[in-house]
Amino acid sequence: MAKKPGYTLTQAYEAVSRDYDVLVIGGGNAALCAAMTARESGASVLMLEKSPAEFRGGNSRHARSVRYAHATGNDHVTGSYGENEFLEDLLRATGGETNEELARLCIRESMNLGDWMKARGCVFQPALHGARQLARANAFFLGGGKALLNSYYAAAEHMGVAVVYGAAVQDLVLEDGRFKSAVFTVKGHEHKISARAVVVASGGFQANPDLLAAYWGKAAKNFLVRGTPYDTGEVFQILVNHGVKTIGDLRQGPCVAVDARAPAMDGGIVSRLDCLPFGIVVNKRARRFYDEGEDLWPLRFGLWGRLVAMEDDQAAYALIDSKSIALSMPSVFPPIQADSIAEMAEKLGLDPAELQKTVAAFNAAVQEGTFDPAALDSCRTQGLEPAKTHWARPLDTPPFYGYPLRPGITFTCHGVAVNAEARMFFGEKASPNMFAAGEIMAGTLLGKGYLAGFGMTIGSVFGRIAGREAGSYGNQH
Ligand SMILES: Cc1cc2nc3c(=O)[nH]c(=O)nc-3n(C[C@H](O)[C@H](O)[C@H](O)COP(=O)(O)OP(=O)(O)OC[C@H]3O[C@@H](n4cnc5c(N)ncnc54)[C@H](O)[C@@H]3O)c2cc1C
Is the residue at 167 inside a domain?
yes
Distance (angstroms) between ligand 1 centre and the Cα of 29 equals: 7
Asked if residue 107 belongs to a domain, the reply is: no
Specify the pLDDT at position 13. Answer: 67
Determine the pLDDT at residue 15: 67
How far out from the chain centre does Cα 173 lie?
29
- Given its phi and psi angles, is residue 159 left (phi above 0), alpha (psi -120 to 50 degrees) or beta? alpha
Q: What is the pLDDT of residue 5?
A: 40
CATH number of the domain within which 277 lies: 3.90.700.10
Pair 313, 346 in one domain: yes
Q: Which atom of ligand 1 is found nearest the CA of 458?
A: 19
**Domain membership flag for residue 115:** no
Atom of ligand 1 nearest to the CA of 410: 53
Are the CB atoms for 47 and 477 separated by under 8 Å?
A: no
Assign residue 467 the CATH number of its domain.
Answer: 3.50.50.60
Give how many domains the chain has, as a whole number. 2
Cα(168) to ligand 1 centroid in Å equals 15
Report the pLDDT value the prediction gives residue 1, as an integer from 0 to 100. Answer: 41
- Are 231 and 282 in a shared domain? no
pLDDT score at 7: 44
179 lies in the same domain as 289: no
Q: Is residue 309 part of a domain?
A: yes
Specify the length of the chain in residues: 477
**Cα 466 versus chain centre, distance:** 19
Residue 406 near residue 222 (C-beta atoms within 8 A): yes
Question: Residue 173 is part of which domain span?
Answer: 9-61+144-252+411-476
Please tell me whether residues 332 and 450 are part of one structural domain: no
Domain for residue 182, yes or no? Answer: yes
Q: Are residues 248 and 270 in the same domain?
A: no
Do residue 20 and residue 169 come from a single domain? Answer: yes
Residues 337 and 461 grouped into a single domain = no
User: What pTM does this model have?
Assistant: 0.91
CB-count burial class (<10 Å; 0-12, 13-18, 19+) for 84: exposed
Does 304 map to a domain?
A: yes
Q: Please identify, among 390, 409, 428, the residue that sits at the C-terminal boundary of a domain.
A: 409
Q: What are phi and psi of 163, to 5 degrees?
A: -130, 135
- pLDDT of the residue at 471: 97
Burial (0-12, 13-18, 19+ Cβ within 10 Å), 477: exposed
Among 384, 409, 434, the domain boundary falls at 409
Q: Give the residues surrounding ligand 1 with Cβ less than 6 Å away.
A: 25-31, 48-51, 57-60, 62-66, 167-169, 201-203, 226-228, 230-231, 234-235, 268-269, 410-411, 438-439, 453-456, 459
Are 236 and 280 part of one and the same domain?
A: no
Residue 116 located in a structural domain: no
Q: What is the pLDDT of residue 302?
A: 80
Domain-terminating residue out of 354, 379, 409: 409
**Mapping DSSP to helix (H, G, I), strand (E, B) and coil, where does residue 298 land?**
helix
Same domain for 285 and 404, yes or no, is yes
Angle, helices 352-365/341-348, rounded to nearest 10 degrees? 130
Domain check: are 376 and 430 in the same one? Answer: no
Give, for all 477 residues of the chain, the pLDDT tens digit: 444 444 445 555 676 778 899 999 999 999 999 999 999 999 999 999 999 999 999 999 999 999 999 999 999 999 999 999 999 999 999 999 999 999 999 999 999 999 999 999 999 999 887 657 888 999 999 999 999 999 999 999 999 999 999 999 999 999 999 999 999 998 888 999 999 999 999 999 999 999 999 888 888 999 999 999 999 999 999 999 999 999 988 888 888 999 999 999 999 999 999 999 999 999 999 999 999 999 988 788 888 999 999 999 999 999 999 999 999 888 899 999 999 999 999 999 999 999 999 999 999 999 999 999 989 999 999 999 999 999 999 999 999 999 999 999 999 999 999 999 999 999 999 999 999 999 999 999 999 888 999 999 999 999 999 999 999 997 777
Clarify whether residues 244 and 269 are in a common domain. no
Same domain, 452 and 313: no
Task: Report the pLDDT value the prediction gives residue 366, as an integer from 0 to 100.
Answer: 98
